[in-house]
Amino acid sequence: MTFEKARMDFPLLERVNYLSTASIGLVPNSVIDKAISTFVDLAQGGTIALNEDKEVSIYETLRNEGSKLLSCNKKEIAVFNSVSEAMNAIAWSLGIKSGDIISTSEEFPSVTYPWLRLMKDTSLNIDIIKANKGCISNDELLNRINEDTKVVVLSHVEYSTGQKFDLAQLADAAHDVGALLIVDGIQAAGYCPLFVKKWAVDVYITGSYKWLCAPFGTAIAYISPTLCDRLEPALVGWRSVEDIWSFNPEKLVFTTGAKKFEYSTSAYGAKIGLAEAIHYLNELEIRNIELHSEKLINILLEELGQIKGVNLITPSLRGSIVTFNINQKDITKIGQQLANLTRPIIITIRQNRLRISPHFYNRESDILDFIDEFKKIIQ
């Protein structure tokens, strides 16, 4: 299927120029149908719609699709309900009591908060590398990793600036001192081809509702087998064990592989939706999506470069996110004016910056229309 044809799956695009996937991705009709029909079947059919095998196979199917997305084995994938939940579950399961956690000042709070919380119960320190004009110096990041470092935790692509990190290089540096690399990939998975094993990342978490074009309520995490074997999940429940139908409340023996981190029922429609969405994206080919995004972002950068007063924040190593501000202009007002056009242009305002985040369903003309309207507004 071509990207042009895929646009038919997103009815909003007929009347709206949607450039805000870094906030919420649009969900294709086929994914909506699967998620809704699961919800309706369960609501109206109870146990007739969900027998024991099906309850096992829902997560199994998602682990399978997740392994294709991340280029790993399905045994290395755990299903969660959100990125924040997964990050907390991992942080509390590591059992680290002292040493340093390295992160950056540009992270989404869910990347750093679990560690800030952990600090209250342990002797851990958090070493936050401060951005210079929104960007983190890669050299500084590498230099700060030392013998005291226990974990390097950051986003693959930063939500606020689009800065992207070389994960293989960071994993090397972390492993040299015996530390772990834990990555939040919600702003990368869906348009970046991902190779978690080749890069030797220890944990890679990603969520459903942005670039993966799936409903809210699901995250998946790759957990490297060597790390997984020595972790004791902090959150447990009836799904933690090998035979989830054994119902033995007196004995807790974890199942094997990353699925030992799964512990409960959940919004099953959202899990089925994410599995279908990953399948949909793989059919479009994620490398093609990446090339398409790069083309759109290059056009955007070239056009922005010609507008006086624009301060670009996004560095050259970046994902499908561009942020910038403009001298002496009210950024929030610009966002509102764009949203109020006859054909609304939906962008995001974050930290007094405009954020543009195109996906495969955007056209070159979406970028050029944005530029035209933006120029008119700032004149």
Ligand X SMILES: Cc1ncc(COP(=O)(O)O)c(C=O)c1O
Phi, psi of 230 (to 5 degrees): -100, 5
Indicate whether 326 belongs to the interface with ligand X (CB under 6 A): no
Among residues 283, 292, 306, which one has the least CA distance to residue 371?
A: 306
Exposed, middle or buried: residue 376 (CB in 10 Å: 0-12, 13-18, 19+)? exposed
Q: Which one-letter DSSP state was computed for residue 166? A: -
**Which tokens sit at 118?**
């952990």
Nearer CB in complex with ligand X: 59/374: 59
Nearer CB in complex with ligand X: 173/221: 221
* Contact track, ligand X, 153-192, x by CB under 6 A: --x---x------------------------x-xx-----
As a whole number of Å, the CA-based R_g of the chain is 21
Among residues 36, 38, 30, which one has the least CA distance to residue 265?
A: 38
Indicate the angle between helix axes 268-284 and 29-45, nearest 10 degrees: 160
Among 21, 38, 61, 84, contact with ligand X (rule: CB under 6 A): 84
Site for ligand X in 194-213 (CB under 6 A): 207
Indicate whether 275 belongs to the interface with ligand X (CB under 6 A): no
Indicate whether 110 belongs to the interface with ligand X (CB under 6 A): yes
**Residue 234 C-beta: closest distance to ligand X, Å:** 17
Considering only 78-86, 175-183, 286-294, 304-312, which stretch makes contact with ligand X by CB under 6 A? 78-86
Nearer CB in complex with ligand X: 82/93: 82
Among 17, 20, 61, 82, contact with ligand X (rule: CB under 6 A): 82
Among 39, 108, 238, 254, contact with ligand X (rule: CB under 6 A): 108
Q: Decide: 118 and 90 in contact? Cβ < 8 Å.
A: no
**Residue 82 C-beta: closest distance to ligand X, Å:** 3
Strand partners, 179: none
Strand positions, DSSP E, 15-84:
17-18, 77-80
Residues 6+ apart with CB under 8 A from 376: none
Site for ligand X in 207-246 (CB under 6 A): 207, 219
Residues that bind ligand X (CB under 6 A): 82-84, 108, 110, 155, 159, 184, 186-187, 207, 219
